[in-house]
Amino acid sequence: MSDLTHFIGGRKVRGTGRFTDLYEPMTGAVIGRAPLAGAADVRAAVENARAAQPGWAAVNPQRRARVLMKFLELATRDLDALAEGLAREHGKTLADARGDIQRGLEVVEFCVGAPYLLKGGFTDSAGPGIDVSSMRQPLGVTAGITPFNFPAMIPLWMAAPAIACGNAFVLKPSERDPQTPLRLAELMMEAGLPAGVFNVIHGDREAVDALLDDDDVRAVAFVGSSQIAEYVYARACAHGKRAQCFGAAKNHMVVMPDADMGQAVDALIGAGYGSGGERCMAISVAVPVGQDTARALLEQLVPRVESLKIGLSTDPSADFGPLVSRAHLERVKGYVALGVEESARLLVDGRDFRMQGYEDGYFMGGCLFDEVTPDMRIYKEEIFGPVLSVLRPQSYEDALGLVNAHEYGNGVAIFTRDGDAARDFASRVQVGMVGVNVPIPTPLAYYTFGGWKRSAFGDLNQHGDDAFRFYTKTKTVTSRWPSGIKDGASFVIPTMS
């Protein structure tokens, strides 16, 4: 067992206050400790970031992009080791861990285009002898607060554009699986990033509040539950910071009567149970339209859920591994018990699953509810586990109404062969990311990622063009070079006429 450190000013800094144990989800064993930063630790990270940022901002965008290119090379070199460490600490399978890292690296690849993405505008002779130009400039010190479920992807989604834009960045990763983010910061340094530009502090609410209250932190990005997202957004805004905060989800998959049922079932299995359901884009609600569609869907879906293979993170044949912590395992099981109390019909119950030889691990099997209704808590609230609920609307309009009435609007999918239905659905559904015969419609790096309603707080999304807007401020310059002719004073708003 070893103690992790913070990463401040380009070096490892030992914790001096509280610590939290780190657990291996497969075994339940303690594998280390992480320090929990206090206000002084946070301040040290911010001061180092503030000192390093002006020099980094002065580096031209092309040279900043070269550092990111070198980081991509190093991360690819170490991909297997990164994935093994991530899988051990989080519990997801090795294949899923590699995917976690790869989706983060795709955003880094996009950010290599910073020289183009940071271009301003210029208008020659906007008025007599007057030129107008605009430029994007970095904000200064920025911060990210990331969740346990994607310990590589989401930190890179935040850090890469922030750094590419010339900012310094302070990361507060989840205290449940902080080793991978720490390693990513070290690789950034190896790639040539100056000391202090990328700092990592571990911690809980005390560290979060210190970041939110620090006047030198100009922007905060957050991913987690909606309750905390709203809290972070409100507190950050109260201190005059920019904030983009992403919260919970309840992602529906509408299955139309004309859908390819085999394809729909495959999609529900992968999107509903992959990574143990610990994804903000996981499908947690199946919405077959009409009773005949529901019967046909469940006829194939039930045996597939029953035959899911739950295994070790290192087992390449496992469909998913353990959940991230014992507390989270008990929370998910509690929701299953609640669903039974609410009179939902539990068709598959995976709560009693035990992994032979790993009885202390955080394992459970897949669960499947039928006859769920919109008033049930298992429908209204995010479970974040291998639990799928089936609702049975009678018509397409009823299905669309269900999705639009839900308080969360992160992702949604429709499975159909009807182009008119798909087009109408994509136009009318009140959700930020829509899939047509695609169950997890996570956009590619050059589009933006973000939900609607209580799934997101703030005006700009993650990655894509929005990331470069979020991490920069626009300055507009109106200039005139007088020829020596005196025009006299003007007492009206200039019109450039």
Helix ranges restricted to H, 216-322: 226-238, 261-273, 291-306
Residue with tokens 């935040």: 158
Q: Are 229 and 457 in contact (CB under 8 A)?
A: yes
- Work out whether the CA dihedral 323, 328, 334, 338 comes out positive or negative: negative
Q: Are 4 and 34 in contact (CB under 8 A)?
A: yes
Report the distance separating Cα 330 and Cα 62, nearest Å: 49
* Helix H or strand E segment including 39: helix 39-58
- Select from 485, 451, 494, 436 the least CA-distant residue to 264: 436
Report the distance separating Cα 136 and Cα 132, nearest Å: 14
Buried b (16+ CB within 10 A) or exposed e, 42-76: bebbbbbbbebbeebbeeebeebbebbebbbeebe
22: helix, coil or strand? strand
Q: Are 161 and 468 in contact (CB under 8 A)?
A: yes
Report the distance separating Cα 439 and Cα 273, nearest Å: 12
Sheet containing 130-138, strands listed edge to edge, beginning at the edge strand earlier in sequence? 121-127, 130-138, 472-480
Exactly one of 111, 165, 280, 367 is catalytic; name it.
280
Q: Are 461 and 448 in contact (CB under 8 A)?
A: yes
Helix ranges restricted to H, 78-176: 79-90, 94-111, 114-117, 153-164
Alpha-carbon separation of residue 254 from 283, 289, 415 (angstroms): 10, 7, 6
- 130-138 and 472-480 beta bridge pairing: antiparallel
Active site residue 280: yes
Amino acid at 399: A
> What amino acid positions are annotated as catalytic residues?
280
